[in-house]
């Protein structure tokens, strides 16, 4: 009797322990950490809202890391983490030019995504993200270079069409800038873009030189082509605008500085990504319903080409929750979520079929036009792991030209040599 | 004889005890100082990078590449220029401020407290503040100078390569003058009043008193301040990085090393640059040691 009481007590204690333990297991959440690229503040809150249902369904906490809104910085943070084999970040983001540098740290998405799921994305982007037959990332959102212009001001000064060539941009800028300044707005400028020495400006640069027929610094076969008459003409013209049509401060602007400047109402033209459209159409914006977008202008010998941008999501090979992470990426990229991100934040969906969506076309009439844009890519495909150095060399050279530290022909010659030095025995 | 022997054993015991007490410090120093340093030196002789796992020994290739790179020399020039100009300004202004604050006047306590404000603001925050003040369109600096009629058009202080480095030097001066003032003031208060009284009786004017008494008495304090600030200025990173980013007109050697290593993933090349920065700082420290020795004599 006594023994049986003892046994009962023991069983009871054991049961209590087991119940506590299982309750603990139910409470212990899994965790996925995601670093979604150039997202910060409001956009992170937006993403957090989108992810919430998935968190609840999978009993998983998703931590979204806030990083600088600057691609160069994000790459630096990521490379440090990956070189240290840090397993804390499960999902990383990747600019469209980093595949060569990050490929070795990424898992093959084909083990988590069925061919049908992969086929829904734009085939060009999928092939860009396929390295050595491994799908290292899936598109998060797309980006194309857009040329923003003030509809009200062009009309006011008698221009019925947005500019098609850089010469027209200059002509319109001169006229409107002179007029607005005479009317008392001393801070009015013709054109603004993110001209800082950082990756965001590298896309503008290939747009500039390729719009004159001057290539993309390094061609598809890996030959350095920086120093050619067309790129020289492009840089002679466009860098000479700084201080005249373009405020001298642009050499420290990143994209959101340019967006802020244009949104203040004191600029006629701006080169930016689609996201700026949603931000500037928001309530309280000084330029709401006063602007529109068109294709990037071109030079005398070239044709218009929009810089290809965009971000991908990928899973770190050091992640301990790869399968769960892949599931989260699928959820983030559900058609509903992609559409919502486009409608609210103007982040182009990775599914081309969504570009025919009636709501999207109604909110952004320019999407129809964007589908037919010619695209130009930064030379990351041919330069691989050395792309950062190539891009930095070009950015520094153009910065020297813009700030008047060097003359265009000599600096371009020097850049050509520098790129060949970086290339060394091969990319 | 016995006494002598005993003394020796006592000294040995003392030495052993001292070593025992010092051991933890040495161990910590080795872990946080010696190990990273020797690893950096080793890496600087390899082609280590973020993109491949196999590391090759390349002897002095990284150093030769570094010396062949015009960017390195430009960064070195920027750094030395920044260090010399900003430290010179800081010391001159710091002494002047200390002299003023050493005089009795109404509100001296308030002035002394106000003097410390720049020191307590975090460096990156202060840099960002100054960046906005220098803004070409909204900046308060341009606004003030335009109103005073000193400039005709707004200047993009941080974008114009002729003004960028000076604008950063101005910010650094504002930030570190209080530090110099503080140290000099402390030393100033230690100068015996009798010296000034005696000089006055001998007919020395204020300038003579400053040159013959104040400056010689401040010599050791100034030497410490100069070398302290110099070593700090030679490894400047945060101020410049926040204010002008990777702009080639103002890149410093620390930024160069960081870019090679973190942005380009070239760990070997970045380590070589770091080692040269280290040697530069060592050189500065040796000069500092020698200066202190001179003072001791």
Across the interface, which of B50, B160, B259 has its CB nearest the CB of A403?
B160
Is A249 in contact with B135 (Cβ distance < 8 A)? yes
pLDDT at A85: 92
DSSP chain B: -HHHHHHHHHHHHHHHHHHHHHHHHHHHHIIIIIHHHHHHHHHTTB--BTTBS---B-TTHHHHHHHH-HHHHHHHHHHHHHHHHHHHHHHHHHHHHHHHHHS--TTHHHHHHHHTHHHHS-HHHHHHHHHHHT-TTT-HHHHHHHHTTS-SS---TTTSTTTHHHHHHHHHHHHHHHHHHHHHHHHHHTS-HHHHHHHHHTT--HHHHIIIIIHHHHHHHHHHHHHHHHHHHHT--HHHHHHHTT-TTT--HHHHHHIIIIIS--HHHHHHHHHHHHHHHHHHHHHHHHHHHHHH-
Quote the DSSP letter at residue A321: -
**CA A15/CA A18 separation, integer angstroms:** 5
pLDDT at A7: 61
Q: Which residues of B touch A404 (CB under 8 A)?
A: 161
pLDDT at A28: 60
Quote the DSSP letter at residue A418: H
pLDDT at B53: 83
Across the interface, which of A79, A249, A405 has its CB nearest the CB of B50?
A79
Q: Which residue has the higher pLDDT, A164 or B282?
A: A164
Q: Which residues of A touch B249 (CB under 8 A)?
A: 399, 403, 405
**CA A100/CA A89 separation, integer angstroms:** 20
A396 interfaces chain B, CB cutoff of 8 Å: yes
% chain A with pLDDT above 70: 93
pLDDT at B297: 46
Task: Return all residues near A217 (Cβ < 8 A) that are at least 6 apart.
Answer: A205, A206, A209, A224, A225, A226, A379, A390, A394, A415, A419
Across the interface, which of A104, A252, A404 has its CB nearest the CB of B245?
A252
List own/partner pairs for A277-281 with CB under 8 A and 24 or more apart: A277/A146, A277/A148, A277/A346, A277/A364, A277/A366, A278/A344, A278/A345, A278/A346, A279/A346, A280/A148
Across the interface, which of B50, B158, B267 has its CB nearest the CB of A252?
B158
Q: What average pLDDT score do residues A126-147 get? A: 95
Cβ–Cβ < 8 Å for A185, A346: no
Greatest alpha-carbon span in chain B = 89
- The pLDDT tens digits of the residues spanning A277-328 come to 999 999 999 999 999 999 999 999 889 999 999 999 999 999 999 999 999 9
User: In a mutagenesis test of the A interface, which of B265, B266, B271 is the best target, namely the one with the most A β-carbons within 10 Å?
Assistant: B265
A249 interfaces chain B, CB cutoff of 8 Å: yes
The token duo for B32 is: 């946080």
b/e map of A364-389 (b: 16 or more CB within 10 Å)? beebeebeebeebbbbbbbbbbbbbb
Task: Return all residues near A144 (Cβ < 8 A) that are at least 6 apart.
Answer: A273, A274, A306, A307, A308, A309, A348, A370, A373, A375
The nearest CA of chain A is from the CA of B120 a distance in Å of 25
A334 interfaces chain B, CB cutoff of 8 Å: no
Across the interface, which of A248, A386, A399 has its CB nearest the CB of B247?
A399
Interface A-B, measured as beta-carbon pairs within 8 A, has a size of: 82
Neighbour count for residue B135 (Cβ, 10 Å): 21
**CA A250/CA A191 separation, integer angstroms:** 10
The nearest CA of chain B is from the CA of A283 a distance in Å of 23
A346 interfaces chain B, CB cutoff of 8 Å: no
| CB interface of A with B, residues 13-52, below 8 Å | none
Angstrom CA distances, A170 to A107, A164, A188, stand at 48, 11, 14
Q: Which residues of A touch B248 (CB under 8 A)?
A: 197, 396, 399-400, 405
Is the confidence at residue A116, as pLDDT, over 50? yes
State the average pLDDT for chain A. Answer: 92
ipTM summary value? 0.85
Cβ–Cβ < 8 Å for A34, A90: yes
Is B247 in contact with A252 (Cβ distance < 8 A)? yes
A110 interfaces chain B, CB cutoff of 8 Å: no
pLDDT at A6: 55
Across the interface, which of B51, B248, B259 has its CB nearest the CB of A104?
B51
> Rg of chain A over CA atoms, in angstroms?
25
pLDDT at A294: 97
Q: How many CA atoms lie within 13 A of A236 on its CB side?
A: 12
**CA A256/CA A276 separation, integer angstroms:** 8
Is the confidence at residue A140, as pLDDT, over 50? yes
User: In a mutagenesis test of the A interface, which of B39, B245, B267 is the best target, namely the one with the most A β-carbons within 10 Å?
Assistant: B245
A395 interfaces chain B, CB cutoff of 8 Å: yes
Query: How many residues belong to chain B?
Result: 297
CA proximity to A245, closest of A270, A265, A263, A213: A270
Considering the entire predicted model, what is its pTM?
A: 0.88
Neighbour count for residue B234 (Cβ, 10 Å): 22
> SS3 of A186, please?
coil
**CA B99/CA A175 separation, integer angstroms:** 57
> SS3 of A274, please?
coil
Task: List per-residue pLDDT tens for chain B, 297 residues long.
Answer: 455 555 568 888 888 899 999 999 999 999 999 999 999 999 999 999 988 888 999 999 999 999 999 999 999 999 999 999 999 999 999 999 999 999 888 888 899 899 999 999 999 999 999 999 999 888 999 999 999 999 998 899 999 999 999 999 999 999 999 999 999 999 999 899 899 999 989 988 889 999 989 998 998 889 889 888 998 999 999 999 999 999 999 999 999 999 999 899 999 999 999 999 999 988 888 887 787 665 554
């Amino acid at each position: 009797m006594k023994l049986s009481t003892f046994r009962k007590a023991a069983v009871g204690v054991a049961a209590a322990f087991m119940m506590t333990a299982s309750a603990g297991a139910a409470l212990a959440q899994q965790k996925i950490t995601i670093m979604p690229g150039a997202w910060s503040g409001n956009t992170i809150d937006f993403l957090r809202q989108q992810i919430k249902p998935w968190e609840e369904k999978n009993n998983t906490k998703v931590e979204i890391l806030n990083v600088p809104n600057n691609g160069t910085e994000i790459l630096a943070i990521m490379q440090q983490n990956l070189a240290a084999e840090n397993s804390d970040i499960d999902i990383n983001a990747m600019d469209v030019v980093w595949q060569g540098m990050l490929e070795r740290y990424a898992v093959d998405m084909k083990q988590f995504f069925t061919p049908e799921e992969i086929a829904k994305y734009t085939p060009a982007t999928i092939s860009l993200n396929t390295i050595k037959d491994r799908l290292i990332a899936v598109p998060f959102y797309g980006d194309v270079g857009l040329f923003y212009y003030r509809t009200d001001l062009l009309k006011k000064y008698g221009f019925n069409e947005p500019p098609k060539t850089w010469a027209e941009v200059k002509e319109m800028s001169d006229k409107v800038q002179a007029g607005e300044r005479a009317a008392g707005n001393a801070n009015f400028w013709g054109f603004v873009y993110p001209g800082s020495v950082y990756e965001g400006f590298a896309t503008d640069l290939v747009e500039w030189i390729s719009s004159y027929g001057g290539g993309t610094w390094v061609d598809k076969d890996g030959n350095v082509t920086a120093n050619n008459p067309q790129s020289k003409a492009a840089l002679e013209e466009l860098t000479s605008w700084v201080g005249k049509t373009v405020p001298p401060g642009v050499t420290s602007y990143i994209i959101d500085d340019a967006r802020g400047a244009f949104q203040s109402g004191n600029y006629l033209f701006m080169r930016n990504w689609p996201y700026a459209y949603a931000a500037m159409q928001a309530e309280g914006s000084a330029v709401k319903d006063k602007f529109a977008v068109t294709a990037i202008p071109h030079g005398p010998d070239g044709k218009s080409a929009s810089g290809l941008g965009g971000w991908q999501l990928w899973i770190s090979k050091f992640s301990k929750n790869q399968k769960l992470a892949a599931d989260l990426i699928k959820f983030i990229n559900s058609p509903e979520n992609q559409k919502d991100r486009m409608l609210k934040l103007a982040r182009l969906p990775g599914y081309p079929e969504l570009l025919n969506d009636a709501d999207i076309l109604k909110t952004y009439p320019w999407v129809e036009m964007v589908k037919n844009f010619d695209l130009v890519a930064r030379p990351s495909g041919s330069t691989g792991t050395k792309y950062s150095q190539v891009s930095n060399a070009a950015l520094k050279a153009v910065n020297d030209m813009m700030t008047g530290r060097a003359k265009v022909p000599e600096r371009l010659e020097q850049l050509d040599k520098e790129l060949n030095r970086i290339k060394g025995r091969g990319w | 004889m016995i006494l002598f022997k005993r003394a020796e054993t006592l000294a040995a015991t003392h030495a052993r005890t001292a070593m025992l007490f010092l051991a933890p410090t040495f161990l910590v120093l080795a872990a946080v100082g010696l190990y990273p340093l020797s690893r950096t030196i080793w890496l600087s002789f390899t082609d280590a990078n973020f993109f491949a796992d196999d590391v090759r020994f390349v002897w002095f290739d990284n150093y030769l590449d570094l010396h062949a790179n015009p960017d390195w020399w430009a960064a070195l020039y920027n750094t030395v220029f920044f260090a010399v100009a900003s430290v010179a300004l800081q010391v001159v202004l710091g002494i002047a401020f200390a002299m003023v604050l050493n005089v009795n006047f109404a509100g001296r306590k308030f002035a002394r407290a106000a003097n410390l404000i720049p020191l307590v603001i975090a460096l990156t925050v202060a840099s960002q503040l100054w960046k906005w003040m220098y803004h070409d369109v909204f900046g308060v600096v341009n606004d003030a100078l335009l109103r005073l009629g000193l400039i005709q058009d707004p200047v993009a202080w941080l974008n114009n390569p002729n003004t960028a480095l000076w604008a950063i030097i101005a910010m650094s001066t504002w930030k570190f003058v209080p530090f110099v003032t503080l140290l000099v003031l402390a030393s100033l208060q230690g100068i015996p009043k009798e010296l000034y009284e005696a000089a006055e009786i001998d007919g020395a004017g204020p300038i003579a008193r400053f040159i013959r008494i104040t400056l010689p008495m401040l010599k050791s304090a100034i030497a410490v301040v100069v070398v302290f600030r110099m070593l700090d200025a030679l490894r400047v990173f945060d101020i410049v990085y926040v204010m002008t980013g990777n702009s080639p007109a103002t890149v410093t050697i620390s930024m160069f090393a960081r870019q090679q290593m973190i942005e380009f993933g070239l760990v070997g090349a970045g380590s070589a640059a770091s080692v040269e920065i280290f040697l530069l700082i060592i050189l500065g420290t040796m000069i500092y040691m020698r200066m202190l020795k001179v003072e001791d004599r």
